[in-house]
Amino acid sequence: MKIIDVRTIPFAIPYRKPLHFASGHIDVADNVLVEVVTEDGITGVAEAPPRPYTYGETQVSIVHVINAVFGPAVTGVSLLAREQVRERLSRTVGNPTAKAAIDMAMWDAWGKMIGAPVHEMLGGYTDRLQVSHMLGFAEPAAMAEEALRMRDEFGITSFKIKVGRRPIGLDLAVCRAIHDAIGREAELYLDGNRGWTAAEAARVMRELADLNLSRVEELCPADDVLARHWLVKQCPIPFVADESAPTPADATRELLAGAANALSIKTARTGFSGSLRVAHLAEGLGVPTVIGNQIDGQIGSACSLAFGVSQRSTAREAAELSNYLDMSDDLLTEPLRITAGSMRVRPGPGLGIEVDQDKLDHYRTDR
């Protein structure tokens, strides 16, 4: 059960509806399919999404670091020796989505090897999650209309509203329009991707006090250390650390510094092994977690789902699993499905997904 190869296949699938947010935008899913191959002929898969504005990685850098550094470092190691692999990958700093994809592909291969689903191997708490949809920047009426469409078509009633624009008035109008359109039974929360100052964020919180928001995320930069602490201290709802807490150590620092009191878990950056560490850290510290979306395709969303259902703590909140719907196509033979506002894990070993080789041939960019 030794790893004999780690393959990288870059691809590009356009978004039908590009996503814009305070730190960047996505028009094309220019992800990297990562395959871990074992000596028994088993192939585990995962995908790495380049997010240069969040982690500094690009599609080219992900392919290069895996082909030149990580692949050779893990070749010959047992598929079961995840701690060995972690130690070897950690000799290179950064590159979180490249490392995470290797980890998740190893879990997929392990599941296929023993005939067990990854979500059960991780903890097997439940088999479905409520879905939350992320609404990217647009005019108020368009964002409200998208929320209604997601509710009517998929039964989704939880929405992350992207905010962080200046002046703050446009986002205030957006939040109010969505709230008025969808009513108080829906869950609404905000993600600023560090776009505002703490003072702007505090003003927004005061102006939207009647909207019954469930939480807020990264409204201002965590690097504005004292201002962020000041903001979090006066915030009456959970303040989620996302890009400021990409590792367990970062999460610990941010929580202890009072820069957040909840954590976003993204398998795209911590894989399954690191996400377990973050989830258990959060549980030990008594802070809530939410399954976030790295603007994942269907492979990445299947990974988020597998992890989210595996733990009691991550199954509690609606998980951000639906933004692959904005892509014009994807790579799975059987697309993911959202029904009555929830997504259910597939039966079958590993991640329970299969890559469509014709689609991969069509969208890969290395030939």
Binding site for ligand MUC (CB under 6 A): 21, 23, 51, 54, 191, 193, 242-243, 292-295
Residue 197: which of Mg ion, ligand MUC, none does it interact with, CB under 5 to 8 A by kind? none
Burial (CB < 10 A; 0-12, 13-18, 19+), residue 185, is exposed
Closest CA to 209 of 231, 185, 235: 235
Amino acid at 226: L
Cα–Cα distance between 187 and 138 in angstroms, integer? 19
Instruction: Pick between residue 79 and residue 150 the one whose CB is nearest to ligand MUC.
Output: 150
Instruction: Pick between residue 38 and residue 293 the one whose CB is nearest to ligand MUC.
Output: 293
Residue 21: which of ligand MUC, Mg ion, none does it interact with, CB under 5 to 8 A by kind? ligand MUC
Cα–Cα distances in Å, from 232 out to 21, 119, 164, 237? 21, 34, 16, 9
Q: Where are the beta strands (DSSP E) in the chain?
A: 3-10, 13-21, 24-29, 32-38, 43-48, 128-135, 158-162, 187-191, 216-217, 239-241, 262-265, 289-291, 319-320, 342-344
Residue 320 touching Mg ion (CB under 5 A): no
Q: Annotated active-site positions, please?
A: 162, 191, 217, 242, 266, 294
Cβ–Cβ < 8 Å for 321, 291: yes
Cα–Cα distance between 120 and 127 in angstroms, integer? 9
CB of 67 to ligand MUC, least distance (A): 24
Residue 30: which of Mg ion, ligand MUC, none does it interact with, CB under 5 to 8 A by kind? none
Instruction: Pick between residue 304 and residue 310 the one whose CB is nearest to ligand MUC.
Output: 304
Cα–Cα distance between 355 and 367 in angstroms, integer? 18
Cβ–Cβ < 8 Å for 80, 14: no
Instruction: Pick between residue 44 and residue 50 the one whose CB is nearest to ligand MUC.
Output: 50
Number of Cβ within 10 Å of residue 145's Cβ equals: 15
* Contacts of Mg ion in 236-275 (CB under 5 A): 242
CA 161 distance to own-chain centroid: 15
Residue 311: which of Mg ion, ligand MUC, none does it interact with, CB under 5 to 8 A by kind? none
CB of 348 to ligand MUC, least distance (A): 28
Cα–Cα distance between 350 and 343 in angstroms, integer? 17
Residue 146 touching Mg ion (CB under 5 A): no
CB of 243 to ligand MUC, least distance (A): 5
Instruction: Pick between residue 25 and residue 364 the one whose CB is nearest to ligand MUC.
Output: 25
Instruction: Pick between residue 112 and residue 133 the one whose CB is nearest to ligand MUC.
Output: 133
The torsion of the CA quartet 17, 59, 304, 249, rounded to 10 degrees, works out to -130
- Window of 15-23, 52-60, 70-78, 215-223 that interacts with Mg ion by CB under 5 A: 215-223
CB of 293 to ligand MUC, least distance (A): 6
Residue 51: which of Mg ion, ligand MUC, none does it interact with, CB under 5 to 8 A by kind? ligand MUC
- Window of 21-29, 56-64, 107-115, 235-243 that interacts with Mg ion by CB under 5 A: 235-243
Number of Cβ within 10 Å of residue 306's Cβ equals: 27
Residue 317 touching Mg ion (CB under 5 A): no
CB of 286 to Mg ion, least distance (A): 22
Instruction: Pick between residue 36 and residue 241 the one whose CB is nearest to ligand MUC.
Output: 241
CB of 99 to ligand MUC, least distance (A): 16
Q: Which residue is nearest to Mg ion (CB)?
A: 242
Cα–Cα distances in Å, from 108 out to 101, 154, 162, 255, 350? 10, 28, 32, 32, 4
Can you tell me whether residue 135 is helix, strand or coil? Answer: strand
CB of 29 to Mg ion, least distance (A): 18
Q: Which residues bind Mg ion (CB under 5 A)?
A: 191, 217, 242
